[in-house]
Amino acid sequence: MPEATLLISSKNYSSWSLRGFLLAKLSGLDFAEERVAADDPRAKEELLMRTSSILVPCLIHGNVSVWDTLAIAEYLNEIKPEAHMLPAEPVARARCRSIAGEMHSGFAALRSSLPMNLRFHKPGFTVWSSAQADIDRITHIWRECLTTWKGPFLFGKKPTIADAMYAPVVTRFLSYDVAVGPVCQDYCDTIMNWPPMKEWVADSLEEPQEIIELDLDF
C-alpha cells in the first residue's frame, strides 16, 4: 500500500497539480494519485485561476495534509533528505529557494495569457507585452542558472525543486510557440524528456475531460 496520496485535478490543464506530482516523484515517496473531479469547486476555481488559495494539489501522508506546492516541497525535503531536492551548496540552495518562490508568487500575466493546456498548440501565437516581460524574466533566470551550474537542469545534473516549479512554464512555451533561444530550448527539451514529465504528459493525452473556458481559440 502506498505511503501517501496526492490529490490532483486535471493533468491537461493543472500546472499546480503537475508541480505537486513532480515534487512527489523527485522525493522518491511512494504515493498514489487521487483525482479531484473537474466540477469540484476546489479544482474548478484552481484551474480557472479564480482563487488565490490553492487547495489542489494536496499531499496526504499519514495524519498530515499539506497543500500549496511550496509547502509540499519543503515537507518532502524534510522527510526525504536523501532525495536532495535542494542543492547541497548554500549559495545554490538559496538561489533555488528564491526562484522557486518567484515562480510560486509571480508571473501573473503569463499565467492568465498562456494557460496550461498540454493538448493545445498555437503556432504564431501573439504574446502581449505584459506576458512577454514575464517570459523575459523567466528565460533570464534559466540562462543565469544554466550558465552558473552548467545544466542540464537549473542546478546541475540532477533536477531540484526549482525544475519542478518551472516545468509547467516549459509546456506553455511549447503550446504557444514561444521562441526562447538555444540555451533555454535545450533546457525545455531536458524537462520534456524527464521521465516523470513524460509520464504526466502521456496520461494527460488520455484524459477525456475538457473545460470549455480553457479550450478557447485565443
Going from N- to C-terminal start, the domains of the chain cover 4-83, 90-200
Quick check: 48 pLDDT over 70? no
The single-letter code of the amino acid at 178 is V
Give me the phi and psi of 123, to 5 degrees please: -60, 140
Cβ atoms of residues 120 and 12 within 8 Å? no
DSSP SS3 for 215? coil
What is the topology classification, in CATH, of domain 90-200? Glutathione S-transferase Yfyf (Class Pi); Chain A, domain 2 (1.20.1050)
Sign of the Cα torsion 160, 161, 164, 170 reads negative
pLDDT at 217: 46
More confident residue, 187 or 215: 187
Q: Cell triple for residue 166?
A: 518551472
Q: How many helices (H) and strands (E) does the chain have?
A: 9, 4
**pTM for the whole structure:** 0.92
What average pLDDT does the segment 42-59 reach? 64
Q: Which CATH superfamily is domain 4-83 in?
A: Glutaredoxin (3.40.30.10)
What average pLDDT does the segment 132-158 reach? 98
Cβ atoms within 10 Å, residue 68: 18
CA count, 13 A, side-chain hemisphere, 58 = 16
What average pLDDT does the segment 55-65 reach? 94
At residue 41 the predicted structure's pLDDT band, cuts being 50, 70 and 90, is low
